[in-house]
Structure 1
């Protein structure tokens, strides 16, 4: 029995809600056979369609929880729970087929077509059969077909994810290369800025040295001019007492004679 399956509290709650919806669907289709008015039948089918949508959602939620807890359960428990999930999918398929049969009978084209998504659509032959007349093998075949379609959809999704991962990897590599290039550019700009600062300081120092050298050269030039002027004046007017003698240019001093005083000689 499904109620004796070892389930977690969350799985048991979802499973109970699904079973409640299945009982409501069974009672709803039984009442539908007793309704003669087509408008009331259409309204009843709309209500049943909503319950089937809710069952589909709950089965997906049951499957997600089952996958989350798969590592915590023994293999035999996982197999029992997966079998129960397949049983619920098959039961939902039977109600979907029954709904399609009533829609074909009523010929009501205004009703929104039910998107079964994870559950299979009945074939043309099943559309003209009553669900009560379907054998267990037919239900199993419909479930297997649904699983095959689901596997194909999952495989396509895996391919899309793989392609997305490849594109993401290439994009990440490109971004990393651009980031490294920007880092090198920033480092080069820092080096250039440092070089410009050093060059500016060197130019300032050279400017100060040039200014100092110019002052020294000007001072030396003034000294040389002064010396030349003195030399010229000395040559022109050597007796000018206002100009002091320059060593090496002064006229020779007159020779002085030493007067010797001799003592008188007495004979």
Structure 2
């Protein structure tokens, strides 16, 4: 957002540095969806968080100088400068909200350091209430939604894989138990057949012996 608000050289310099950070944040979050490795995503998010903290510091400095010069400026100029500050706050809060979305998807539960300047007051506020997602741009909302859907799809796929593996292990265990029981049953049948064969052999010998005795008599 280009500014045609009348500023002192000091305010212009701070404003320019803040706009540079906003461009860096925009490019940085656009790269997040292209990074597939979670460790690299976490590192990228850490770098972006550092930029947001620096931006927060600069906006506070902008606000401090604005108050120092307030008595020297006409009311309309003060209003324009305050509107400029509120634009910066809203823009930064949109990136804070976007950061929370990516942080949640990475399973990082660290508390987000929220920007502590009110939306309508010229004084910095201590209220750290979470800013609404309405502060995000449409493209940021779309990108954030797509990222969350991708994360959900991956989680579902992992859950299905775990379920299949567990089911396979259970079937394998049941099959092994059944095979063990069948093996023991086969051994018992084999033993019984051996016993029958031995009995038949003894009976055959007895029959032959009786036959010889009859022939002799």
User: What's the TM-score, normalizing by structure 1?
Assistant: 0.45
| Gaps in structure 2 of 5+ consecutive residues | 118-127, 141-217
Alpha-carbon displacement from aligned partner over 1:175-230 (angstroms, at most 9, x marks no partner): xxxxxxxxxxxxxxxxxxxxxxxxxxxxxxxxxxxxxxxxxxxxxxxxxxxxxxxx
- Report deviation, 1:13: 0.5
Q: Secondary structure at the match of 1:24?
A: helix
User: What's the TM-score, normalizing by structure 2?
Assistant: 0.55
Q: 1:130 to 1:72 in 2, by over 3 A?
A: closer
Q: Secondary structure at the match of 1:6?
A: coil
Q: Secondary structure at the match of 2:33?
A: helix
Residue 113 of structure 2: aligned partner? 115
Structure holding more helix per residue: 2
Alignment of structure 1 residues 89-238 onto 2, 5 Å: 89-109=89-109, 112-119=110-117, 120-122=128-130, 126=133, 131-133=136-138
- Report deviation, 1:20: 0.6
Residue 6 of structure 1: aligned partner? 6
Runs of 4+ in 1 over 2 A off after TM superposition: 119-123, 129-135
Q: CA RMSD in A?
A: 2.4
Q: Secondary structure at the match of 1:71?
A: helix
Q: 1:82 to 1:130 in 2, by over 3 A?
A: closer
Q: Which has the larger radius of gyration?
A: 1
Q: RCO greater where, 1 or 2, for CA within 8 Å and sep 6 or more?
A: 2
Do 1:97 and 1:121's aligned partners in 2 also have CA atoms closer than 8 Å?
A: no
Residue 20 of structure 1: aligned partner? 20
